Structure 1
């Protein structure tokens, strides 16, 4: 590989003196041709090469542009953007359907409300633990990055593999299908159900639309997320006000004996916690984009505290409203508690609740694509995913290849006739995955007690969260052996992939050639490159790399 230094931003292949099967790449340096610090080049897969071309430069007219600091993710998220992101991912479809399972496994109104409050407190403890980790390791990637830094590449890859091969794609697909069902339901009253392919097409359109918005820029996605967050909070406020009004006029019969019928066995209560955790899942979402958060040492813990307090209060009051209007038996017989509540309280205007649920699912998908793409980007940057997934669009500073990858698997999973069981599996595995970094925090407290910590939480938080997390994750899974078998199968395949492809120093030639072609296409189509950073000693280095002969590289761009 040859290197040459130039002061011009545009040159042709002939000027560089290489053939048409070569393409120049521009690397940011600080007085030496070494890789930028954020590139994690030492951890990359052998055989992978950076393909940053010299014609990829920023357009100063764009609000999300990559300016003089280089091609990198920008710190554009403030405190309230972080709150909107967490609340938007927390309040998804769960609060509108989970109360049925909670009542089923608790048996009473009082115990159901206790479980909702306890889960909120447990999530708050986990959130504060993640705040300490996020300020110690201020990188995008959240759980994956924390496991990588604490336990090494193999556990980190398995976390990444399990999460983004099954868990997140299935969750996104199911929420998109929920949106399509609620949108189409008013057009198919009575016993008629919407056509199968119509549901899938609308769900696919929603996923693609949210992906396009995220490709346009971080600020636009944050604004859209804020709008959807306000809409879903408004929906829950409508439910709460209606329930309070119902209580105010004297309908308090359902609260006279709140603990009557309670199921006191440990397995049932643990399963009820397992159900509420689905509604609270997402409290760790801001940790996935810490690198794009302004003043993370201040805004990260504040956003977690504000959002989790707000969501816990809203969840408890929403359930009080449900129980004020509906009996436990009615809740158990309902597949969508919010819709049943709306029909009982609002009559013909009950469709408003369905509309709000649709908006809630939109907000979840928008936030999920934003967060998930950053984890894919982090995994590619560390060499655990193909390197082209770490490319950033030079004008808008968004990881477009990672965003596209994030939506491919959910679109494929939409074709499955029933993916509900995948969601059940994903919740149980998600509980285990989020528990691993908290255990790692305890290990860091013991191994590196003097490590700088902008935030240091009370030691009891990680200890209590670990104990509760193990109980909630293990007990319900023991009751579902098929989930254990499926989880072991996914982990085994992940280990096979890691040993066969990632661990080998020499990659199969066919794989490296295919990755080179995809990398080149990504650069040419999306105008993206790997992350670079500039400083006062910055120089531009053009390196010549070989690309497949079948690709014409004579095209140049002027900026």
Structure 2
């Protein structure tokens, strides 16, 4: 009996010894990897996201994210629902002003809560983890990767269009080129933030150059007296149509809040965030309005509504052989837009992981201060959606969720004024602006929901899928604990494959 007890004790001691040795080896491996990374790290903060973006970089992120292919290809939605040229121009201006009001509210939120993730971070601070996760889930799993896939497909179509002037490019070739576009920009964004912002800068300049050429041609046409299309004739009086015209207009301005997603990487955010927002939103509003004016100096409303690519039709009328450059400018515009979505979306993944609502591997940062695992996650999801036959339907189903989340983020502003009045607020917005913005957001969300109840219902069901995911994976009382061990091993593997470490707390 004593021998058995002694044998059992010896076995137990050996087991404990092996366990301690295994833990020490794991700790050694992890510390060795971290030490290796930090030894080569160019970052002063040992792997943290660095504030490298200037005011100019901030402006190009916003402008480059807002201006995609829509203004070049099909600015018909506003005209279709307003019924007249002058009314459509008023909607373009009003949509720009409305976006500026939202951006003004985000300036206070961004300088008060200086965390990457924008409205996700604000909703987390104000309404708690479940509401924030619903926002994170639908945006990360559907809206962002779908949007990136669609913009990449648009890029492919316009690159290949000169090779297939009489027909549409082959679908397989289009999707393959879109995948190459995403993979190239994924490499750039994993390589360095500086490289990504340079891409954003130069392709923003390219799209602005194209729009300035169109605007200059429009000014020339105005000087020649081409103003016959500028009337209020045919303006609709239907409230639903007017609301839908604003929905189309506001969709074209989508992206004004993207700088808030990467605020941790912006130099002097208190000074540069509001300036970048003001400059960018004002510039885009002026450019959008003048571009539409230019179109209507040459094209009639009927021609605009019937054109699949308004900028191309406009250029064919005025530019002669130079019109061939317009598809290339559209391709450059969409290429920059893909980069902007990838740059900002990866920070949303990073912010969710930092709050414990996404896998911990997405918080890892390389020696070049880039969140490479988060960038790769966005890219892989986008590539997955390229295989879906109708990805446009997914965006239509959950498009209203974007406006709901932005409205909820603006609602955070008055709520935090009441619940947390002691928070540091370098910028303090008059409460009139968030109230007006929230009311208008409710109208923008409600009217399309009434007009398309079936799509809205499907979208709500997709949004509600966040609830079981939250309960099974995140809620402390109901989550499946054994998945933690699997995710720990996956995190360590990703850390080794991407040569990344967890950011140091400052």
TM-score of the superposed pair, with normalisation by structure 1: 0.84
- 1:278/1:97 Cα in 2 relative to 1: closer, same or farther (>3 Å)? farther
Matched with 2:413 is: 441
Q: 1:452 is matched with which residue: 418, 424, 427?
A: 424
Higher mean displacement: 314-323 or 442-451 = 442-451
Q: How many Å apart are 1:329 and its aligned residue?
A: 0.5
1:85 aligns with 2:85: no
Matched with 2:6 is: none
Decide which structure has greater helix share.
Answer: 2
CA RMSD of aligned residues (A): 2.0
Matched with 2:22 is: 19
SS in 1 for 2:229: helix
Structure with higher RCO (Cα < 8 A, 6+ apart): 1
Matched with 2:341 is: 368
Segments of structure 1 that go 5 or more residues without pairing to the other structure are: 1-13, 29-50, 535-559
SS in 2 for 1:95: helix
Matched with 2:43 is: 66
Distance between the aligned counterparts of 1:526 and 1:320, measured in 2?
A: 49
1:108 aligns with 2:84: yes
Segments of structure 2 that go 5 or more residues without pairing to the other structure are: 1-16
Matched with 1:220 is: 195
- 1:115/1:506 Cα in 2 relative to 1: closer, same or farther (>3 Å)? closer
Query: Aligned ranges for residues 18-417 of structure 1 at < 5 Å?
Result: 18-19=21-22, 22-24=25-27, 53-59=34-40, 65-67=42-44, 69-190=45-166, 192-255=167-230, 258-393=231-366, 395-417=367-389
For the 8 Å contact 1:98–1:279, the answer to whether it is kept is no
Matched with 2:433 is: 461
Q: How many Å apart are 1:53 and its aligned residue?
A: 3.8
Distance between the aligned counterparts of 2:336 and 2:243, measured in 1?
A: 29
Distance between the aligned counterparts of 2:74 and 2:118, measured in 1?
A: 26
Matched with 1:478 is: 450
Matched with 2:493 is: 521
TM-score of the superposed pair, with normalisation by structure 2: 0.93
Deviations 1:388-442 (A, max 9, x none): 111111x211111100001111111111222222333343221111110111111
Q: How many Å apart are 1:55 and its aligned residue?
A: 3.3
Distance between the aligned counterparts of 2:253 and 2:39, measured in 1?
A: 39
How many residues are matched? 489
Distance between the aligned counterparts of 1:97 and 1:446, measured in 2?
A: 45
- 1:418/1:376 Cα in 2 relative to 1: closer, same or farther (>3 Å)? same
For the 8 Å contact 2:74–2:308, the answer to whether it is kept is no
Distance between the aligned counterparts of 1:135 and 1:179, measured in 2?
A: 35
For the 8 Å contact 1:113–1:316, the answer to whether it is kept is yes
SS in 1 for 2:169: coil
